[in-house]
Copies of this chain bind each other. A is one copy, B any other.
Amino acid sequence: MPLEKTEAAKLLTEIVLLTFRLEGGFLAAADKISGPAGLTAARWKVLGAVLYEKRSVAEIGRVMGLARQSVQRLADILVSEGLAAYEDNPAHKSAKLLAPTEEGYARIARLADRQTGWANRASQGIDAAELAATRDMLARLITHVEATDVPA
């Protein structure tokens, strides 16, 4: 006899599918917003992760929930394009810290207004309190999902 799903589990299952779809939409928008500034969604993510704080590649991966190998590749590209640079890490000989260059900051500045315009338009007519509740639930789900292991 098959296992029974709780009410919450049924809803979570629906949320999974919606999340896949929403992520696709967000990613497409991020690519269109960042394209004219010579960036992609993925490079924007990495550059954005070190805007206010220098971080090692592995640290960026942890903050963004990405494999450090994925970040490494993007960080190398950003450096090769002159948008970021590796700086010495006093606390670790080989784990250098990634930081944006002036050009990197300039690229982010170039897409800021486009991102703001998009966010204003896409969120138009949606109640802020409901959005805040959704944000909180997403954060909670991230914690739960990353803590629930799947038996082999």
Chain B residues closer than 8 Å to A142, beta-carbon distance: 18, 21-22, 25
> Does chain B have a CB within 8 A of A69?
no
Contact B134 A7 (CB under 8 A): no
Q: Is the interface of A mostly helix, strand, loop or mixed?
A: helix
User: Does chain B have a CB within 8 A of A93?
Assistant: no
In angstroms, Cα B126 to Cα A144, docked, is: 10
Proximity bits, A26-50, B CB within 8 Å = 1, else 0: 1101101100100000000100000
Enumerate A128-144 residues with CB–CB distance to B below 8 Å. Answer: 128, 130-135, 137-142, 144
Q: Is the C-beta of A102 less than 8 angstroms from some C-beta in chain B?
A: no
Q: Are B116 and A18 in contact, with the CB atoms below 8 A?
A: no
* A119 interface hit (Cβ, 8 Å): yes
Q: Which residues of B lie under 8 Å from residue A130 when comparing CB positions?
A: 133, 137
State A38–B16 Cα separation when bound (angstroms). 21
Interface-centre pick from A29, A36, A148, A152 (highest chain B CB count, 10 A): A148
Does B131 lie within 8 Å of A11, measured CB to CB? yes
Asked whether, in the complex, the Cβ of B133 is within 8 Å of the Cβ of A18, the reply is no
Q: Residue-by-residue, is A84-128 near B (CB-CB < 8 Å gives 1, otherwise 0)?
A: 000000000000000000000000000011111111111110111
